[in-house]
Chain A
Amino acid sequence: MVLLRTVGRTFLNFLAAAGRLAIFTLVAVSHCVRPPFYPRLLIRQMIEIGYYSLPVVGLTAIFTGMVLALQSYTGFARFSAESAIPNVVIVSITRELGPVLAGLMVAGRVGAAMAAELGTMRVTEQIDALNTLATNPFKYLVAPRLIAGLTMLPILVLIADIIGVFGGYLVSVHKLGFNPTTYLKNTIDFMETQDVVSGLVKAAAFGFLVTLMGCYHGYHSKGGAQGVGQATTNAVVTASILILCFNYFITELFFAQ
């Protein structure tokens, strides 16, 4: 009986949480498309997400591109297939590693900060104060963050793609002795529009997920410092898991027969 009750309660709690998240998402999206808008806040969030994430995302991308080239070389050299390295680098970076790694880094950097900021605003009654001043927190806090995430991540990922390919180029040319011209020519020949586009669609989805999780957990945090800490953890963990899940499904959407 106790076991059944525990299972039942867990299941009900899960359903309630899923419902809360669904309602939160619907309300948030509806506020993204209805006036009043807050352009200043949107620009501030865009700079915060897009510009200040550049170093982190760039570093991740360049080392990923470099290690890709190095690893593919050690593998492919056994079959004398070294010439496939530019192909491997461009496809892996644009389709998978660019968007996923950028998404995960932004989840750690931006999602956590959002959950902590909104969580602190919740527990210090600043969100209540917004409401009393006849300002909807969804419009003022959530909508600018969601829109900034949705639009900035594709740009970040596009830059990450370029830096990642450049990382592969660096290792291939300077360490593995590739001819620079041939390497670049092969890279461009292998580049498919669909690879890049699918990566950018993923980036937009991940940007939305990261900011949504940051806002959702921050908005619903309670109980002081501990609650804010919990909200931050939850925001990063759920965003990371959702990124990996959605990555699979978007890939299936684009490339499955």
Chain B
Amino acid sequence: MTDARDMTPQAKIEIRGLDKAFGAKVVLDGLDLDVNEGRSLVVIGGSGTGKSVLIKCILGLLFADGGSIRVDGDEVTGLQGAALDQVRLKFGMLFQNAALFDSLTVLDNVAFGLVAGKGMPRAEAKDIALDKLAQVELGPEVATLYPAELSGGMRKRVGLARAISTEPEILFFDEPTTGLDPIMGDVIDQLIVKCVRELGATALSITHDMASARRISDRIAMLYGGKIIWEGPTDEIDHCGNPYVEQFISGSEEGPISFLMGS
């Protein structure tokens, strides 16, 4: 997704020294990371390494123990209430299992951020929601269904439509291909790339699916031991010379990464 606009990359999200622990278990340990404007960064790492915690700290769903997170240069750690909601309007997020509201129809789900978050009149929001559904290649016949009636791939698409409905500046994707077959995974990845490009948004994804990571990223960062241990352009990852990254992308059991949790 690289193009001419990122001649001078500017940090949309700037994370410095981020700490987060649950009880005695340290998950993030002085993490530094920049996500540049208009670019797509994918954070890879094994299960339980704190990828979701990282995203939840940025969104203010979890409170960081220490460190700084700046969005557009403004500190967001410690924000609460209306100020936090104001920052959250910049974000759209696709959750791992889509997290659709199962008491609402597909259309109400997609229109939710517009009606409840931005206070748009219902009729207008529904027109936009239909547009967004079309963008993820779902027809109006899906709009009246409830999330329980959808397949996994369709739920992801609706989740994506909901994430882009408010036209956010920053999009987060939590394991976008988990639970999908490889073909559907590819379809979702292509929709993600398309939507991010059309919005001109900054994207931050977390995944452990290397094929997906290569498809949707400009840059890749690897999270291990609570820190970013490698970061670079996607096409350099295969010869980065970092033994941790090499072990992860080859999926080998042998290497420096310890599988004993909590070590």
Residues of A within 8 A of B (CB): 36, 121, 124-126, 128-136, 140
A136 partner, pick from B85, B112, B162, beta carbons under 8 A: B85
Q: A129-B93, A134-B85, A136-B85 are in contact. Are A124 and B113 (CB under 8 A)?
A: no
Q: Does B178 contact A (CB under 8 A)?
A: no
Q: How far is the CA of A130 from the CA of B102 in the complex (A)?
A: 12
Question: Can you list 25 pairs linking A and B with CB atoms under 8 Å apart?
Answer: A121-B101, A124-B97, A124-B99, A125-B95, A125-B96, A126-B101, A128-B56, A128-B59, A128-B95, A129-B95, A129-B99, A131-B59, A131-B61, A132-B91, A133-B88, A133-B112, A133-B113, A133-B117, A133-B166, A134-B89, A134-B118, A135-B85, A135-B112, A136-B85, A140-B116
Instruction: Name the distance in Å between B109's Cβ and chain A's nearest Cβ.
Output: 9
Instruction: Name the distance in Å between B49's Cβ and chain A's nearest Cβ.
Output: 19
A134 touches B97 (CB 8 A): no
Instruction: Name the distance in Å between B41's Cβ and chain A's nearest Cβ.
Output: 18
Instruction: Name the distance in Å between B57's Cβ and chain A's nearest Cβ.
Output: 12
Instruction: Name the distance in Å between B82's Cβ and chain A's nearest Cβ.
Output: 9
Find residues 38-61 in chain B having any chain A CB closer than 8 Å to their own CB: 56, 59-61
Q: How far is the CA of A66 from the CA of B214 in the complex (A)?
A: 73
Q: How far is the CA of A133 from the CA of B93 in the complex (A)?
A: 9
B61 touches A128 (CB 8 A): yes
Instruction: Name the distance in Å between B95's Cβ and chain A's nearest Cβ.
Output: 5
Which residue on chain A has the smallest CB distance to residue B101? Answer: A126
Residues of B within 8 A of A (CB): 56, 59-61, 85-86, 88-89, 91-93, 95-97, 99-102, 112-113, 116-119, 162, 166
List 15 extra interface pairs beyond A128-B56, A129-B99, A133-B162, CB under 8 A.
A124-B99, A125-B96, A125-B97, A126-B99, A128-B59, A128-B99, A129-B100, A131-B60, A131-B61, A132-B91, A133-B88, A134-B88, A134-B113, A135-B85, A135-B116
Q: How far is the CA of A128 from the CA of B97 in the complex (A)?
A: 12
Instruction: Name the distance in Å between B225's Cβ and chain A's nearest Cβ.
Output: 25
B102 touches A126 (CB 8 A): yes
Residues of B within 8 A of A136 (CB): 85
Q: A131-B88, A132-B61, A134-B89 are in contact. Are A125 and B99 (CB under 8 A)?
A: yes
B117 partner, pick from A125, A126, A135, beta carbons under 8 A: A135
Residues of B within 8 A of A129 (CB): 93, 95, 99-101
A133 touches B116 (CB 8 A): yes
Residues of B within 8 A of A133 (CB): 88, 112-113, 116-117, 162, 166
Which residue on chain B has the smallest CB distance to residue A128? Answer: B61
Instruction: Name the distance in Å between A227's Cβ and chain B's nearest Cβ.
Output: 15
Q: How far is the CA of A121 from the CA of B89 in the complex (A)?
A: 21
Residues of B within 8 A of A135 (CB): 85, 112, 116-117
Q: How far is the CA of A199 from the CA of B170 in the complex (A)?
A: 54
Which residue on chain A has the smallest CB distance to residue B56? Answer: A128
Q: How far is the CA of A128 from the CA of B113 in the complex (A)?
A: 13
Q: How far is the CA of A132 from the CA of B165 in the complex (A)?
A: 13
Instruction: Name the distance in Å between B8's Cβ and chain A's nearest Cβ.
Output: 29
Instruction: Name the distance in Å between B9's Cβ and chain A's nearest Cβ.
Output: 25
Q: A126-B99, A126-B102 are in contact. Are A132 and B116 (CB under 8 A)?
A: no
Residues of B within 8 A of A126 (CB): 99-102
Which residue on chain B has the smallest CB distance to residue A38? Answer: B116
Q: How far is the CA of A36 from the CA of B162 in the complex (A)?
A: 22
Which residue on chain A has the smallest CB distance to residue B85? Answer: A134
Residues of A within 8 A of B101 (CB): 121, 126, 129-130
A132 touches B112 (CB 8 A): no
Which residue on chain A has the smallest CB distance to residue B61? Answer: A128
Q: How far is the CA of A40 from the CA of B111 in the complex (A)?
A: 16
Q: How far is the CA of A125 from the CA of B178 in the complex (A)?
A: 15
Top 6 nearest A-B pairs (CB, nearest first) are A134-B117, A125-B99, A129-B99, A134-B85, A133-B113, A135-B116
Residues of B within 8 A of A36 (CB): 119
**Max chain A Cβ within 10 angstroms of own Cβ: one of B60, B85, B162:** B85
Which residue on chain A has the smallest CB distance to residue B60? Answer: A131
Q: How far is the CA of A35 from the CA of B136 in the complex (A)?
A: 34
Residues of A within 8 A of B61 (CB): 128, 131-132
Which residue on chain B has the smallest CB distance to residue A120? Answer: B102
**Max chain B Cβ within 10 angstroms of own Cβ: one of A121, A124, A129:** A129
